[in-house]
């Protein structure tokens, strides 16, 4: 099955891991890191500065693709789109 994320087509058979993350500033210049959204919403409230969100896709060949979203709403819309692609096949 071909999966489309942000206008990029990926062969779902090549995907080894697909997960959402929050991207937060580390406090070191423009450095950022990924954290789980669950941690952000439970433990991270008021502790970190969110700079965006992403869907991370790991592929069998070791390639990692990241799709950036400015808001959680944009991320959620893309997750719903991905879910629809899986359930419509």
Domain locations in the chain as residue ranges: 2-87
Q: pLDDT at position 27, please?
A: 84
Q: pLDDT at position 68, please?
A: 98
Q: What average pLDDT does the segment 9-22 reach?
A: 97
For residue 65, which of 29, 1, 21 has the smallest C-alpha distance?
Answer: 21
Report how far residue 41's alpha carbon sits from residue 64's, in angstroms, rounded to the nearest whole number: 25
With a cut of 80, say whether residue 89 has pLDDT above it. Answer: no
Q: What average pLDDT does the segment 54-64 reach?
A: 97
With a cut of 90, say whether residue 46 has pLDDT above it. Answer: no
Q: What average pLDDT does the segment 41-47 reach?
A: 88
Mean of pLDDT over the chain: 94
């Amino acid at each position: 099955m071909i999966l489309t994320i942000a206008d990029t087509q990926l062969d779902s058979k090549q995907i080894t891991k697909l997960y959402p993350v929050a991207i937060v500033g580390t406090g070191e210049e423009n450095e950022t890191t990924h954290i789980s959204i669950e941690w952000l919403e439970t433990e991270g409230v008021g502790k970190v500065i969110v700079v965006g969100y992403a869907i991370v896709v790991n592929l069998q060949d070791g390639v990692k693709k990241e799709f950036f979203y400015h808001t959680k709403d944009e991320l959620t819309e893309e997750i719903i789109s991905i879910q629809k692609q899986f359930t419509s096949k």
